[in-house]
């Protein structure tokens, strides 16, 4: 009995990101939960009832775990536990592979719940290691599954993650559509559902901001700001301040941006999630530079991002985005030769970038070339940027590229060089 019950208990606890102490609550110690998970204690009826409340499961579903475990079930439980372990140690490639294996074995055994959890973990792991297209394929299967169709909470989580995948691919209109569908479901009745709703709001804000709808993005930022209370988990509160600060910077409200990013920097912990901390420093440097904030704190954010990404093992996409930050810093500080060399290197791998980020690379390249007096080359870069922004649906960036194109063509017609 112990192996079947204990393994399932551990799996469901980890799926909810609960510690053993949190699962035990006020009635059972962490050490007692550990004994249950290791098969060294037998669950009574009262224990099953209490654990079902903590896990938000029907008692009869937990009672079924007491039945002897089959070899097939053992196989996918082991794979699922290994997938969780890989995720916790930031081995996202291993997590994606093990979760995919567990999902296949679970569906073969007609265990839809385990299949859903493992497929969802597989999709998130793929996103963390740069496999956006593969993640999107998995998420589409989840969205079409009966379990998802019957649950607003699961639908919200799936659509939010789809929106995040589409955003990272530069497919902005689709990302906005999915994130909008997610938040229209509502905030739900549980803390987990409310957290998923807030994450969906953040994704929508990011997609709207990238697409140039700053007013729409800011209205959702106000909703996010109202949602932060003393009881909001520290990491979630930090990420909300991060998103609000991003939009404030893009709107040229530098003081508000600095305030919210200072809050985010205080709340987000590199010890809790070094990868997210690296991404935050990349983001704050990006929007600071876009707002023209060229100061030591901005350089520190770039350097922290470079260091943290080197420690966690950045994907090629992340490494290129950090290099683009450094190129923008060099441009704003007048070092055109170094900026150009870096941008040409990034451009040779632009297929690894989201479409709108590749457009940003071309736009910055055009500015560097223009500063060097290479007007024809600059014009070609600006036109390339315009094309990429159009493909991505980044309307405000299209305007930026067009302004540069019009300026150069006007200079060319008048025979003036700068």
**Which of 56, 145, 159, 161 has its CA nearest to residue 107?**
145
Of residues 379 and 71, the one with the higher pLDDT is 379
Please say if the pLDDT value at position 58 is more than 80.
no
Percent of the chain at pLDDT exceeding 70 = 94
pLDDT of 1: 37
Please say if the pLDDT value at position 30 is more than 60.
yes
Which residues contact residue 159 at a Cβ distance below 8 angstroms, ignoring those fewer than 6 apart?
143, 178, 179, 181, 182, 185, 200
- Model confidence at 108, in pLDDT bands (50, 70, 90)? confident
Domain ranges of the chain: 151-223, 228-294, 315-418
Please say if the pLDDT value at position 75 is more than 60.
yes
Q: Kindly report the length of the chain.
A: 418
Please say if the pLDDT value at position 222 is more than 70.
yes
Average pLDDT over residues 382-392: 95
Give the separation between CA 9 and CA 18, rounded to whole angstroms.
11
Give the separation between CA 406 and CA 277, rounded to whole angstroms.
40
* CA 362 to chain CA centroid, nearest Å: 24
pLDDT of 2: 39
The Cα-based distances of 45 to 2, 42, 60, 66 in angstroms read: 15, 10, 10, 11
Average pLDDT over residues 58-72: 59
- Model confidence at 74, in pLDDT bands (50, 70, 90)? low
What are the pLDDT digits (tens) for 115-130? 998 999 999 999 988 8
- Model confidence at 64, in pLDDT bands (50, 70, 90)? low
HSE of 318, CA atoms in CB hemisphere, 13 A: 25
What are the pLDDT digits (tens) for 311-343? 888 889 999 999 999 999 999 999 999 999 999
pTM confidence score: 0.74
| Domains 151-223 and 315-418 agree in fold | yes
pLDDT of 36: 83
- Model confidence at 245, in pLDDT bands (50, 70, 90)? very high
C-beta of residue 70 within 8 angstroms of C-beta of residue 37: no
Q: Is 153 exposed, middle or buried (0-12, 13-18, 19+ CB in 10 A)?
A: middle
Neighbours of 30 (CB within 10 A): 12
280-284, long-range: CB < 8 A, 24+ apart:
280/238, 280/239, 280/242, 281/305, 281/308, 282/309, 282/318, 282/321, 282/322, 282/325, 283/242, 283/246, 284/242, 284/245, 284/246
What is the domain class of 151-223 according to CATH? mainly alpha
DSSP state of 251: T
Give the separation between CA 129 and CA 110, rounded to whole angstroms.
29
**Which of 283, 171, 356 has its CA nearest to residue 179?**
171
Please say if the pLDDT value at position 351 is more than 80.
yes
Please say if the pLDDT value at position 261 is more than 90.
yes
Please say if the pLDDT value at position 100 is more than 80.
yes
Fold of 315-418: 1.25.40
Give the separation between CA 343 and CA 348, rounded to whole angstroms.
9
pLDDT of 70: 58
Give the separation between CA 399 and CA 81, rounded to whole angstroms.
49
DSSP state of 294: -
175-178, long-range: CB < 8 A, 24+ apart:
175/203, 175/207, 176/204, 176/207, 176/208, 176/211
Instruction: Show the tokens assigned to 365.
Output: 């390249």
Q: Is 282 left (phi over 0), alpha (psi -120 to 50) or beta?
A: alpha
Which residues contact residue 8 at a Cβ distance below 8 angstroms, ignoring those fewer than 6 apart?
62, 65, 77
Give the separation between CA 171 and CA 207, rounded to whole angstroms.
9
Q: What is the mean pLDDT of the chain?
A: 88
The Cα-based distances of 313 to 91, 98, 118, 309, 358 in angstroms read: 10, 20, 24, 6, 22
Query: What backbone phi and psi angles, to 5 degrees, belong to 42?
Result: -95, 135
pLDDT of 60: 61
Average pLDDT over residues 205-212: 94
């Amino acid at each position: 009995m112990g192996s079947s019950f204990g393994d399932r208990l551990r799996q469901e606890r980890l799926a909810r990101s609960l510690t053993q102490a949190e699962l035990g609550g006020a009635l059972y110690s962490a050490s007692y939960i550990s004994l249950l998970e290791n098969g060294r204690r037998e669950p009574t009826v009262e224990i099953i009832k209490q654990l079902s409340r903590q896990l938000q499961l029907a008692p009869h579903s937990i009672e079924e775990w007491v039945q002897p475990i089959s070899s097939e079930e053992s196989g996918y439980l082991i794979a699922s536990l290994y997938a969780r372990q890989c995720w916790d140690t930031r081995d996202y490639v291993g997590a994606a592979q093990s979760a995919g294996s567990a999902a296949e074995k679970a569906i073969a055994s007609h265990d839809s719940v385990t299949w859903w959890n493992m497929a969802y973990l597989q999709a998130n792991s793929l996103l963390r290691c740069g496999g956006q297209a593969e993640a999107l394929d998995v998420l589409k299967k989840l969205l079409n599954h009966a379990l998802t169709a019957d649950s607003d909470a699961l639908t919200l989580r799936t659509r939010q993650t789809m929106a995040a995948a589409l955003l990272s691919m530069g497919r902005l209109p689709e990302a906005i559509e999915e994130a909008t569908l997610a938040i229209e479901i509502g905030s739900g009745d549980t803390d987990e559902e409310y957290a998923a709703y807030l994450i969906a709001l953040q994704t929508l804000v990011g997609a709207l901001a990238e697409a140039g709808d700053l007013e729409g993005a800011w209205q959702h930022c106000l909703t996010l700001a109202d949602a932060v209370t003393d009881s909001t988990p520290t990491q979630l509160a930090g990420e909300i301040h991060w998103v609000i600060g991003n939009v404030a910077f893009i709107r040229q409200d530098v003081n508000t941006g600095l305030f919210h990013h200072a809050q985010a920097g205080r709340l987000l912990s590199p010890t809790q999630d070094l990868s997210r901390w690296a991404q935050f420093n990349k983001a704050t440097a990006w929007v600071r530079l876009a707002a023209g904030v060229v100061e030591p704190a901005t350089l520190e954010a770039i350097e922290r991002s470079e260091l943290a990404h080197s420690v966690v093992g950045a994907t090629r996409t992340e490494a290129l985005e950090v290099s683009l930050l450094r190129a923008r810093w060099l441009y704003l500080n007048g070092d055109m030769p170094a900026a150009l060399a870096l941008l040409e290197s990034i451009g040779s791998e632009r297929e690894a970038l989201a479409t709108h980020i590749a457009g940003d690379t071309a736009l910055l390249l055009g500015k560097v070339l223009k500063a060097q007096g290479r007007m024809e080359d600059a014009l070609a870069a600006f036109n390339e940027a315009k094309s990429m922004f159009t493909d991505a649906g980044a309307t405000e960036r299209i305007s930026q590229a067009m302004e540069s194109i019009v300026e150069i063509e006007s200079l060319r017609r008048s025979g003036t060089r700068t």
